[in-house]
Structure 1
Amino acid sequence: MTDAAAHDFIARWSGTAASELATAQSFVIDLCTLLGVDKPHATPAQDYMFERPITFTHGDGSTSSGRIDCYRRGRFVLEAKKLKAAATARSFDDGLLRARSQGENYARALPASEGRPPFVLVVDVGTVIEVYAEFSQSGGTYTPYPDPRSHRLPLADLAKPEVRERLRRIWEEPESLDPARISAQVTREVAALLARLAKSLESPAAKTGRDGTGNYTSNTAQTQYQQAQEAPEIVANFLTRCLFSMFAEDVELLPKGAFLGLLQTHRNNPATLRQMLRTLWADMDRGGFSPALAQDVLHFNGKLFKGAAEDGYSLLLTPEQIDLLIEAARANWREVEPAIFGTLLERALDPAERHALGAHYTPRAYVERLVLPTVIEPLRAAWSDAQASALVLAHEAAALEDKARDAKLAEARAEVQKFLHQLCATRVLDPACGSANFLYVTLEHLKRLEGEVVNQLEALGHTQDQLGFEGETVTLQQLRGIELSERAAALAELVLWIGYLQWHIRSRGRASVAEPVVHNYGNIECRDAVLAWDAQEVAYDGAGRLQSRWDGSTFKTHPVTGEPVPDEAAQVPQWRYLGARKAGWPQADFIVGNPPFIGAASMRAALGDGYVQALRGAWPDVPESADFVMFWWHHAAQQVAAGAVQRMGLITTNSLRQTFNRRVVQAALDAGTHLHMAVPDHPWVDAANGAAVRIAMTVLAAGSGEGRLQTVTAEQAGEFGEMTVALDEQQGLIHADLRVGADVAGAKPLQSNERLTFRGVTLMGSGFWVAPDDPLIGTEPAALKPLRNGRDLTDSPRGVYAIDFFGQTQESARTQFPAAYQRVLEGVKPERDQSQRASYREKWWLFAEPRPDMRQALHGLPRFIATPMTAKHRTFQFLPEGVLPDQGLIAFATSDAFHLGVLSSIVHLQWAAVQGGTLEDRPRYNNSRCFETFPFPAEDTPHRARIAQLAEQIDAHRKRVLTQDGLTLTGLYNVLAALREGRTLSAKEKAIHAQGLAGVLRELHDELDAAVLAAYGLPAQADTGAILAHLVQLNAQRTAEEAPGRVRWLRPAFQNPQNSPQNQELPALDGQTPEADFDCKKSLSKQEQSPWPATLPEQVRAVADALASSPVPLTLPAIEARFKGRGPWKKGLPTLLQTLEALGRAQPVAMESGPAWRG
């Protein structure tokens, strides 16, 4: 790969005039020789070859074939063209656009087993190589690499060794060119250095003010360190100024090596360095001559360098601390990744989170997974329309002469400029921006798109001088953020400015940076995003006493029990929020971000009673059971529904699908919005501490429509510990439970099922527990009840009891059961005294939630059904009368084995799996959704006796085999799952299979499933979709029946004892899933005509949409028949279709009736 060989290659291929087919393969072979890489060769695997066959599968089920000019699996798709020699702005040639679109289509059509290559190469043989990349390899848009200004490699550039090396890496190691990989290690190393420095500045050792020789420095230095210890923000601000200075010198906004030179020169004289830094930063704030550098500096402006007169503006460092700054300054700040730098720096500067610095950060690909569909995809769709419009006009210009041609080209440029104006006026808001990683990733993609638009303008004849960038370039002013933390808000501005200047200098060069370098746009607002108030004051009770609460984290040892109990002396004040109201948000076109995760049950402990009370009062339409993040989701959804925002995309916990959060989503869908994209369960990394969590992603758009539901199918640890995920995608109407298909989330609660299911008791106090060998069982047995939780059912039962004073007053409990009473007095009361709930404090001897309704429903039953609220396998079983279920169990107040059989069947298990939620990766049973909406078969079904018989047999079989030591219900059903999957059992599983007679259990369950399916009129082979669709239909039918009072009570003697009507006969259902009555030809013949749009971009979109929505290819007459209008609009259709072909939005198809196109 020598320079001489490169010059020979350039000379041989420059100006080649031969045809594409005759030259492309020879060009690639010679290029491989130049790069020193293997040449394409045919293999059975077809993994590196010319003319790689490819099959396209279309929406109507048909297929078509194509051939990739050159393909290397996992590396690239290469498409070659030979443009006309006279292809100029005045003689426009869209050949490279066609090649790029074709290459991207080929990449997406590759078999899923091969994956999508990270690069698409477009070659104009003998002239230029264009490079496009998509490193997530998940089907996103291939964008110019490394950026729109330098992705085109003229043939002469192959004389440069760095260009040849870039191409060699595309051939051999494409992952090494991923900017995220390149910058990740640099960023982590820099953040680690800064954490060491921040720790030293805030540590007690630093406060002694020792110098490099171990001697104490002046009292002034000691005072300085004490101030730093007392105010970590001083350290954060000082380091932020240092960091920006390091970046500025590496991109030559400061003289090269200026900041590093100051550190090295004055390393042994910290006091001088302190003054030099103060002088330099003050000079950077105003611009002009800087005595610290003895030369001029740019006018940086902004907030970063304000306040030079303040004591903490420049800190007095030790030589060892200066060494850490020197080491950090030597890093390549051009390569620091802003998308993760802010997160790591925030941890470095926060003493409470510094331990997490080595933990994982949120991978850029995760952020892009939300940013792209929320913000970038709609903008790229609009750009595609504008670009197509411009190309239509450019094609028309090619047929004209002189002034007429110039005027038409001017129209084409005007279409592009119109979009550029739209792009540069687009506003994006992150209402919980943290250190701005979402905003930075958005910024980078906006700048990439801007670069492509500018390239198109140049291709249409504009020069840089003519582009008039003043007011027509993407700036940070378009990106708005709200952040509660002052430190994070300051870091957000730093991250955005570093990212913006990195991109600006990389794409336009250092000379293009105008003064002032940094602007104080005020686009990051430091405030609460969901609650505003006029004043905040400490709360007092009616007697004038200060209201406070336990701080939630301080414990003391109980003097008698020795157990940790809340320390009542550790109090924090309660606050009142005066004039509390909804917080407003800045105007935006798109909202994207990652609001804080606090569960509804934890909000009072985390935020305080006063805040939560004010928040609930300000947002009455957000259910009280909803998580904190849902206030952001609801506010953003309201903006979308009102038409103020085009799309919103937010991260939430994966509990979004559960009932308490799902209500917020359903309300938004009912208000006229739809889910454009959703990922129900995805790995994530907590920004503060690096912990792995599970989240959901949702993108909401206005109007009705289908969306993309993405499901994680595989997760694999990446190089830096992040999880690389594989996704499966479904297209369809996404419901509030983040599913496509039958609208299970829309099922209504049935009266027939009401008052029969309950969550068990909540004890709240370890003093209630009684071990199986406790003497209290013998002395005061009447005060005790056997207690069962979920693990008692799924694993080995503990045999514990609970002291249950339900129905007793404090006096009667103490009189009748003094020993049990003393246990509760000492083991429960101290904790209850700190509770914010008056009922918990005042009735401390009773369970926190004694469930009187459940006790009433279970009274008189010899047994009842129970299932764990959260469990790997959903099972139901009978428990005997007298057993007390705790909050980990759901109790069903019925002793009927028919009900047990239906609940245990595949029909109910499928329904519960969709209606319920998850805790981590375990299904969670929500009785209000899983049971109360579930339509049981008719009571008089002929299969009733058989279902009850099989349920009794399953219950008895399990109870019998589980008496053996070591055998658990979870282990037994693990084996049952393995049998159904058909996988080979391990030695341990074989032992469980033999002990538990798992084969018998499987047979019993299979027979039960068949009997229950038959009771519903469903075939034994019914799949999940058919079962759910049938149940949704049946739920709607039962709801309609119940409206006039015809209720099919499950337990009429209890539910409706005074007026129990006879069960009505269930109308017959055939078990068939409702299907749309769709006749393709009939649909086409009755297609309504739409008015022909007025503007060219709208016309482009209308034709593209017509092709995309048609199940069959459309001929030109068929396309014309879709529209109506006056004027010669039909004459322009061929050119418009030709342009859509060039952009990959239409594919020509040869039909007997003539040429046709599909979307």
Structure 2
Amino acid sequence: MPLSWNEIKSRALAFSRQWEDAADEKQQSIPFWIDFFDIFGIGNRRVASFEHAVKKHGGGQGYVDLFWPGQLLVEQKSRGKPLQPAYDQAMGYFPGLPERDLPHTLVVCDFATFRVIDLDARREITFALKDLHKHVRWFGFIAGYQAQTITPQDPVNIKAAERMGRLHDALKKSGYTGHALEVLLVRLLFCLFADDTAIFPAQGFRAFIEERTAPDGSDTGPRLAQLFQVLNTAEDTRNKNLDEQLRAFPYVNGKLFDEGLPIADFDAPTREALLDACALDWSAISPAIFGSLFQSIMDEQARRNLGAHYTSEENILKLIGPLFLDELRAEFDKVKGQRNRLFDFHKKLRTLTFFDPACGCGNFLVISYRELRALELDVLRAAALLQGHAGQRSVDVHQLIGINVDQFHGIEIEEFPAQIAQVALWLVDHQMNLRVSEEFGQYFARIPLVTSPRIVHGNALTLDWGEVLPAARCSYVLGNPPFVGAKFMNDAQRADSRAVFASIDNAGLLDFVAAWYVKAARYMQTAKLQNQELFALAGRAPEPDFIQNAEPPRAAFVSTNSITQGEQVGVLWGWLLGQGVHIHFAHRTFSWTNEARGKAAVHCVIVGFGLQDRPGKVIYEYADIKGQPHAVPAANINPYLVDAPDLVLPRRSKPIGDVPEIGIGNKPIDDGNYLFTTAERDAFIAAEPAAAKWFRRWLGADEFLNGYERWCLWLGDCPPAELRAMPEAMKRVQAVKEFRLASKSAPTQKLAATPTRFHVEFMPAAPFMVIPEVSSERREYIPLGYLEPDTLASNKLRLLPQATLADFGVLQSAMHMAWTRAVSGRLKSDFQYSINIVYNNFPWPFNTPDSEPNQPPAPASQSRAAIEFAAQAVLDARAQFAGSSLADLYDPLTMPPALLRAHHKLDAAVDKAYQLAGGPKAYKNDAERVAFLFTLYQRLTSLLPAAAAKPARVRQTSHPT
């Protein structure tokens, strides 16, 4: 066991007095440094050597005065000799050292003065021998104490994963695979970490591999097996003949080394890969990040993109802050000056339990545990201050540390990450124990491992969560369930989610992640019932100490933003609201960030929820999805994550106001046989001149926005005799017929009977307005426009044949864009404009009931005229740039100022119409716009008959009938 800092400082002071007269390098250097190591309770012969031979820079033989591979290099001089030449001499040894042996700390000394250089941190200090006790923490690594701050961005996380990857590949190549390889790597991870954090004797594991295994690696596997057996055996039951080097290793327990494994076959390169891993400073790793990186080494493809699916620490803090940490911190600030209340608060921290039902490598649990331990450390500081011990480092923390890893629970479907999650919690526990040791001057460790987190290897959707952690004992459910779209689930995922969604209508629309929301709500309901039963048995109302959690657990998940947009909202949140769920906080859409190379771009939300309707709700807004959140207090947070009433938008077949109906464009189902580029059309006409009059301009969303030409061979109106006279056209018709017949869909097979007709046909006889189905989220406005009737619009455009210029103005405004951003579905991050959700539920300003008390009359002709004028100005501004596509005009970087000014005037005109409909005079942001629109929606729909919300087909022609 390492010495406490108090003992180390005392020994350092005694060392300074003992050696205050030392002067002669040749006579006194070796005993000086032997005694120096003894300050830390370390025998130098275990770790370092004197007069270590090395090739100097430029050739020639040199001898390092004291060398500890990978850790420390010392150049000693006689008293009074200048230290700079000694430093230059020491640096000259570096080119002759193997890379993995390069030290992180360099010391030059003349007995009276120490110059210490931390090469990794690029810092140094010079001090007198008499002041050694004041600066002895610079040498904390000798005793196993590490002073560095652990950061997610530290390159050591990537280096460590990559070196473990090389070791993994070498072992796998030898035939050591599967479960045995996974367990072996987890054990080696623990040993590497233990080597640098005082769990093992200083560099004991590395020394064991270097000194007790053959260079050819032939006995490395058996030696590791022997070491694992020792680590799994209590000191008092070990073989009496066990050699001293192995006996120095502690009993670890925790069942980490319990399972017998096949002996791995190492060779020289594999042994070198292990030693390369030993050379890193494993005390600096972040267990939360490294766990996911470590998992990725098992998959060669994933390793090329290390960490691509890892939740960054920043995003984890976005979740755990508002879920529990901010509240606990605020409570601590209130009680830290009151001894009894502080004591009760500390007891409360020990009662909290955390559950991640899709924990992966445990990153959410690890960061939560670290932050909870950091809060406990603040509690201990405050308690020491109240007791008059602050700064004296005399508090006995061994009996005061209450928080432990057994408060953390998880479920993980894959065995390997489940093992990593458990070990990662142990690792961060030890890192926090070292911080306690650093703070209070007493060594504190939990070895052997007596307490374990409960990480269950299983399927979270088929397991009863209560078997992992009874619902009434759970404080918080949290995590990052898997992201799989409803259409992309495999058969197993679909079966698992179908069982969870059994009682929910239209659940086939739901993404995989929604199953965790449903199970969490049921888990909360179970806790509520269990608490009520316990209260009934007690015959009294709950008191603070009567039951661990008087309230059901609260939950927060990171999710793709799809569950708060489009059709999924009505399905998922309609059910959740019916269960009494309330949203407590929410991060609106932000860009998922990762800590490793090849970052994955995912657009996410965080939703915190529970059965309690709590005060202090907060919405975290993002001006830029890659930027930082801005907290906005909210009276209520609805399923679209806006401050508005709790409601979900149904799939409506008709608009809620007296406005034009909307439909989709033409849907050929032709396998591309009727669609042509301009060059393909010209070539076809050259071969079939009679077909020229049957070609019509074809526009989908992409063609409409980017302004390029495509053409459609529309034969639905072609007389049979004329069609039969065009053999090339007949080939196309025959190909369409065969394509439809080959379909697995019965309706598509039926369409083969009329191969010249489209599945959906919508061909207005007059100019009509169109809205692209999909548009980039980068645009401030979705570009709308008009087409002539000789153009065929595809089903990727929404068509409004009867739309007026005022209708165009409202739909092209910031108000309608705010609504679209809030409620539309997304294709990746792009807007996906839905007729039934976005358009048909949109509350127009022209349909406000005049009967509302204290409301001004509906806007009527004056506001319509103002909107029409401003809408025409937008079209006129576009016309100034006839050579530019709509994509050019509406790109945020290239949008012409004249067009932007016209849009802002249109926005003002539309805002004025909504003001007359009861809205505010001005809006600070989109959130305020949407909040008013939901209020207006609620007012408008309260007057509609219930049948109006029932799903029905959009009015348009479909062939055949």
Residue correspondence of structure 1 range 66-145 to structure 2 within 5 A? none
- Report the counterpart of residue 586 of structure 1 in structure 2: 469
Matched, 1:239 2:185: yes
Distance of 2:765 and 2:609 partners within structure 1:
48
Shift of 1:599: 1.4
Matched, 1:527 2:446: no
In the superposition, relative to structure 1, how do residues 256 and 462 fare at CA in structure 2: closer, same or farther (>3 Å)? same
- Report the counterpart of residue 786 of structure 2 in structure 1: 878
In the superposition, relative to structure 1, how do residues 636 and 354 fare at CA in structure 2: closer, same or farther (>3 Å)? same
- Report the counterpart of residue 517 of structure 1 in structure 2: 449
Q: Is the 8 A contact 1:706 1:734 kept in 2?
A: no
Residue correspondence of structure 1 range 376-525 to structure 2 within 5 A? 376-383=325-332, 387=336, 391=338, 412=340, 415-459=341-385, 473-508=402-437, 512-514=444-446, 516-517=448-449, 521=452, 523-525=454-456
Matched, 1:676 2:584: yes
- Report the counterpart of residue 260 of structure 1 in structure 2: 206
Give secondary structure in 2 for the equivalent of 1:281: helix
Gaps in structure 1 of 5+ consecutive residues = 1-5, 7-155, 167-175, 207-224, 395-411, 533-580, 716-722, 979-987, 1056-1159
Give secondary structure in 1 for the equivalent of 2:591: strand
- Report the counterpart of residue 655 of structure 1 in structure 2: 562
In structure 1, give the amino acid aligned to 2:210.
Answer: Q
Which residue, out of 619, 625, 641, partners 1:709? Answer: 619
Q: Is the 8 A contact 1:866 1:892 kept in 2?
A: yes
Shift of 1:758: 3.6
Bigger mean CA deviation after superposition, 886-895 or 482-491: 886-895
RMSD, matched Cα: 4.8
Distance of 1:769 and 1:806 partners within structure 2:
16
Distance of 2:748 and 2:149 partners within structure 1:
56
- Report the counterpart of residue 869 of structure 1 in structure 2: 773
Q: TM-score, normalised by structure 1?
A: 0.57
Shift of 1:650: 0.9
- Report the counterpart of residue 597 of structure 1 in structure 2: 483
Distance of 1:845 and 1:276 partners within structure 2:
76
Distance of 2:792 and 2:364 partners within structure 1:
49
Give secondary structure in 2 for the equivalent of 1:442: helix
Give secondary structure in 2 for the equivalent of 1:875: coil
In structure 1, give the amino acid aligned to 2:588.
Answer: P
Matched, 1:891 2:799: yes
Could you list the per-position Cα deviations for residues 493-520 of structure 1 after superposition, in whole angstroms to 9, with x for gaps in the alignment? 121111112222442489644553255x
Distance of 2:308 and 2:478 partners within structure 1:
25
Which residue, out of 800, 803, 809, partners 2:711? Answer: 800
Could you list the per-position Cα deviations for residues 653-697 of structure 1 after superposition, in whole angstroms to 9, with x for gaps in the alignment? 133431334333465456444333221122224699741322111
In the superposition, relative to structure 1, how do residues 1031 and 433 fare at CA in structure 2: closer, same or farther (>3 Å)? closer
Distance of 1:468 and 1:999 partners within structure 2:
64
- Report the counterpart of residue 603 of structure 2 in structure 1: 694
Give secondary structure in 1 for the equivalent of 2:774: coil
Matched, 1:277 2:224: yes
Q: Is the 8 A contact 1:767 1:827 kept in 2?
A: no
Give secondary structure in 1 for the equivalent of 2:199: coil
Shift of 1:590: 0.3
Q: Is the 8 A contact 1:770 1:803 kept in 2?
A: no
Distance of 1:713 and 1:263 partners within structure 2:
54
Distance of 1:165 and 1:455 partners within structure 2:
25
Distance of 1:889 and 1:910 partners within structure 2:
20
- Report the counterpart of residue 29 of structure 1 in structure 2: none
In structure 1, give the amino acid aligned to 2:415.
Answer: E
Which residue, out of 288, 312, 322, partners 2:271? Answer: 322
- Report the counterpart of residue 946 of structure 1 in structure 2: 865
In structure 2, give the amino acid aligned to 1:161.
Answer: H
Which residue, out of 709, 732, 749, partners 2:634? Answer: 732
Shift of 1:917: 4.9
- Report the counterpart of residue 940 of structure 2 in structure 1: 1038
Distance of 2:592 and 2:931 partners within structure 1:
33
Distance of 2:621 and 2:195 partners within structure 1:
45
Could you list the per-position Cα deviations for residues 762-811 of structure 1 after superposition, in whole angstroms to 9, with x for gaps in the alignment? 66745564333335575668997654221222211332327788999xxx
Q: Is the 8 A contact 1:666 1:736 kept in 2?
A: no
- Report the counterpart of residue 179 of structure 1 in structure 2: 149
Give secondary structure in 2 for the equivalent of 1:501: helix
Shift of 1:745: 5.9
Q: Is the 8 A contact 1:683 1:694 kept in 2?
A: yes
Matched, 1:298 2:253: no
Distance of 2:937 and 2:609 partners within structure 1:
28
In structure 2, give the amino acid aligned to 1:771.
Answer: T
In the superposition, relative to structure 1, how do residues 782 and 244 fare at CA in structure 2: closer, same or farther (>3 Å)? farther
Aligned residues: 751
Give secondary structure in 2 for the equivalent of 1:928: helix
Give secondary structure in 2 for the equivalent of 1:649: strand
- Report the counterpart of residue 661 of structure 2 in structure 1: 756
In structure 1, give the amino acid aligned to 2:885.
Answer: T
Q: Is the 8 A contact 1:806 1:846 kept in 2?
A: no
In the superposition, relative to structure 1, how do residues 416 and 185 fare at CA in structure 2: closer, same or farther (>3 Å)? same
Shift of 1:703: 1.5
In structure 2, give the amino acid aligned to 1:197.
Answer: L
- Report the counterpart of residue 35 of structure 1 in structure 2: none
In structure 2, give the amino acid aligned to 1:623.
Answer: A
Q: Is the 8 A contact 2:484 2:511 kept in 1?
A: yes
Which residue, out of 926, 939, 947, partners 2:834? Answer: 926
In the superposition, relative to structure 1, how do residues 910 and 295 fare at CA in structure 2: closer, same or farther (>3 Å)? closer
In the superposition, relative to structure 1, how do residues 1040 and 619 fare at CA in structure 2: closer, same or farther (>3 Å)? closer
Shift of 1:260: 0.9
In the superposition, relative to structure 1, how do residues 791 and 745 fare at CA in structure 2: closer, same or farther (>3 Å)? farther
Give secondary structure in 1 for the equivalent of 2:201: coil
Could you list the per-position Cα deviations for residues 19-57 of structure 1 after superposition, in whole angstroms to 9, with x for gaps in the alignment? xxxxxxxxxxxxxxxxxxxxxxxxxxxxxxxxxxxxxxx
In structure 2, give the amino acid aligned to 1:970.
Answer: A
Could you list the per-position Cα deviations for residues 306-360 of structure 1 after superposition, in whole angstroms to 9, with x for gaps in the alignment? 333x42xx31122112112112112222222111110111112222311113869
In structure 1, give the amino acid aligned to 2:630.
Answer: D
Shift of 1:594: 0.8
Shift of 1:296: 4.9
- Report the counterpart of residue 515 of structure 2 in structure 1: 631
In the superposition, relative to structure 1, how do residues 798 and 1054 fare at CA in structure 2: closer, same or farther (>3 Å)? closer
In the superposition, relative to structure 1, how do residues 713 and 902 fare at CA in structure 2: closer, same or farther (>3 Å)? closer
Which residue, out of 195, 203, 209, partners 2:165? Answer: 195
Q: Is the 8 A contact 2:408 2:454 kept in 1?
A: yes
Which residue, out of 700, 721, 734, partners 1:789? Answer: 700
- Report the counterpart of residue 912 of structure 1 in structure 2: 820
Matched, 1:820 2:744: no
Distance of 1:660 and 1:742 partners within structure 2:
18
In structure 1, give the amino acid aligned to 2:600.
Answer: A
Give secondary structure in 2 for the equivalent of 1:798: coil
Q: Is the 8 A contact 2:342 2:383 kept in 1?
A: yes
In structure 2, give the amino acid aligned to 1:179.
Answer: T
Identity %: 20
- Report the counterpart of residue 972 of structure 1 in structure 2: 889
Gaps in structure 2 of 5+ consecutive residues = 1-8, 10-129, 141-145, 529-550, 848-858, 957-961
In the superposition, relative to structure 1, how do residues 158 and 301 fare at CA in structure 2: closer, same or farther (>3 Å)? closer
Could you list the per-position Cα deviations for residues 124-179 of structure 1 after superposition, in whole angstroms to 9, with x for gaps in the alignment? xxxxxxxxxxxxxxxxxxxxxxxxxxxxxxxx99962367999xxxxxxxxx9983
- Report the counterpart of residue 853 of structure 2 in structure 1: none
Distance of 1:660 and 1:806 partners within structure 2:
37
Give secondary structure in 2 for the equivalent of 1:597: coil
